[in-house]
Each structure stands twice: as structure tokens, then as C-alpha cells.
Amino acid sequence: MSADINASWPEENRFHSQVLDLSPALVIKMTARTHARFFVFAIPEENSGKPNRIWHSVGSDEESAQHDVPQSYLDLYPLHRGPSGNTRFLAKFVLSGCAGSVGVAYDAREWNPKGAGDLDQIIKQAGSFGLDGRVRGFPQIGKLRTEGPAITLPYCWFSPIDTWDNPSLCAVDTYDISGDHVKFRTRAYNRPDLLPIAKAIEYAEQRDYPAVLAYCGSSEVALKLVRDIEPQFFAGDLQVTRTGVGKERVEMESTYFEVEKRAGRWLVVAFNAE
């Protein structure tokens, strides 16, 4: 019908659908123009308290309502089932405007047919990716892995130490989905040495001293950051100099930080804004 009604549209912008058969559920990807969504159909055990054998629409994505963007793309992946055997899948949305960096949103769901049925969200993670994935000194980390009892979700995010309109800091999260309850395991960063600076600036802009202190080597440094950091800090040019084993000096415009690795963690140990 879309091919006839929307014959003047480019073929890729007409209505399309794709079925992911995850018996006893079906996940349907639907696209029209430049937007994509998913809908889930299944047979709950009960309907209004009575035994049920009829297919129902049991849920859909939330990204289309949360993100009003010109373009959205969607990929669906089946996931490992826990001991209960419930259907699981991951939806990866890529959200973009007319130009610039793109957003990414991971949405993992599990269908439980017991009773009236539940389509539960078991993982939610959002982030961004740059235009080409190449920021000097900030290599991206990790790859999307959806097979087996452990999955990995890579993403980046915009932070105060970005040097232009491209997210510099990136991470990869690992989840254990072997059991009936999904568990977060680890988060690895592409630049753990610079993470405390970005976090300290973020919380200092909010004047949140306890949060800033968690990323600093002393209360004096944390207090100085909360007192002196300017709102909407932007790194501009960023220079990192190694000053010793597990020690670095980080210069940004007229501001410098010193970080040290202590007991396996990088912390801000000095700060000065001229």
C-alpha cells in the first residue's frame, strides 16, 4: 500500500517492516519516512482474569516519545534467555538531526507471559557518538556484543573536556544476563585519567561539593573547584603532560589540573584557574 500511496517518496522512506521471531513473542520493527519504532505482540496467559489464547499488542518503544529528532534508526538483537526462558531482546536506536553528532539509546526488554503479562525494561543506557569516531587522544572503547550470557554496550557522552562538537569521553558497559535478573558488571573508560576532571567540573558547576570530593584527592581541591569553576566550562584546547609515574598535568586554555593515580583510581590533586 505504501508503495502505491507514497510512490513519489524515495523507496527507503516508504513504510517498511521487519519481524523478529522470538517465540512466544514477535517484535516488529516499523519504519516510515526517517523514523523507526518497535512493537511487541504476544499471548498473555490471562485477559481480564480469564485464560487467554489471543495475540495482543503488549508494548512498544519509548524513544520516539522521549526524543523529537528528525531521524531515528533501529536495530533489533535477540538476547540470551535466563533460566525462566522468557523472551529478551535489545533495541539500539541511533538518533540524529540534520548535521552533527548522533545520539544512541539502548533499550533491552523481557517478555513475561504470566498472568496479564509484562514487557519489562531490563536495561536502559543513552549516549552519543561523534561524526567519525576519531577524536585526537580519545579512542573509542569497546564494541557492541549481544550474543551469549554477557553483553557489552559502547557509547560516548558530551562532557566539559570536549574540544569541539564531538564527545571525547567514551565507555563500554558490561551486563551479566545469564540469570533471571540482569546485573550490571563493569564500566571501562577510554581515558580514565581524564574522567575525574570531567566529573569534578560537572559537579562543581552544580556546586555539589560531596560529589566533587569523590573525584578529588583532598577537600581543599574540591572546595576550590566548587568556589572557582565557571559555569558552562569548555576545554577548548587540551594538553596532557606526564609528570611522573601515575601523574599528569592537564592544561585547558588558562586553566590547569593535576591528576594522580592512587589505589587504582585517578583523582584531581591540584587545580588553578588564572
Distance of alpha carbon 137 from alpha carbon 80, whole angstroms: 35
CB atoms within 10 A of CB 133: 13
Given a contact cutoff of 8 angstroms between Cβ atoms, the answer to whether 76 and 88 are in contact is no
Given a contact cutoff of 8 angstroms between Cβ atoms, the answer to whether 226 and 200 are in contact is no
Number of C-alpha atoms within 13 angstroms, CB side, residue 137? 13
Mode of pairing for the β-strands spanning 46-47 and 50-51 = antiparallel
pLDDT values of the chain reduced to their tens digit, one per residue, 274 residues: 889 999 999 999 999 999 999 999 999 999 999 999 999 999 999 998 899 999 999 999 976 666 678 889 999 999 999 999 999 999 999 998 776 678 999 999 999 999 999 999 999 999 998 876 678 889 999 999 999 999 999 999 999 998 887 899 999 999 999 999 999 999 999 999 999 999 999 999 999 999 999 999 999 999 999 999 988 887 778 899 999 999 999 998 789 999 999 999 999 999 998 7
Distance of alpha carbon 118 from alpha carbon 59, whole angstroms: 9
Q: Give the pLDDT score at 254.
A: 82
Q: Give the pLDDT score at 273.
A: 84
Distance of alpha carbon 207 from alpha carbon 222, whole angstroms: 10
Assigned C-alpha cell, 249: 598535568
Assigned C-alpha cell, 180: 533471571
Number of C-alpha atoms within 13 angstroms, CB side, residue 85? 4
CB atoms within 10 A of CB 78: 15
Which has the closest alpha carbon to 228: 201, 267, 247? 201
Distance of alpha carbon 235 from alpha carbon 250, whole angstroms: 10
Which has the closest alpha carbon to 183: 126, 125, 123? 123
DSSP string of 11-74, one letter each residue = GGGS-EEEEEEETTEEEEEEEETTEEEEEEEE--SEETTEE--S-EEEEE-SHHHH---SEEEE
State whether the Cα torsion 142-160-240-226 is positive or negative: negative
Beta partners for residue 156, in sequence order: 128, 170
Given a contact cutoff of 8 angstroms between Cβ atoms, the answer to whether 56 and 41 are in contact is yes
Distance of alpha carbon 5 from alpha carbon 102, whole angstroms: 31
Indicate the residue type of 224. K
Residue 112 is given by DSSP the state E
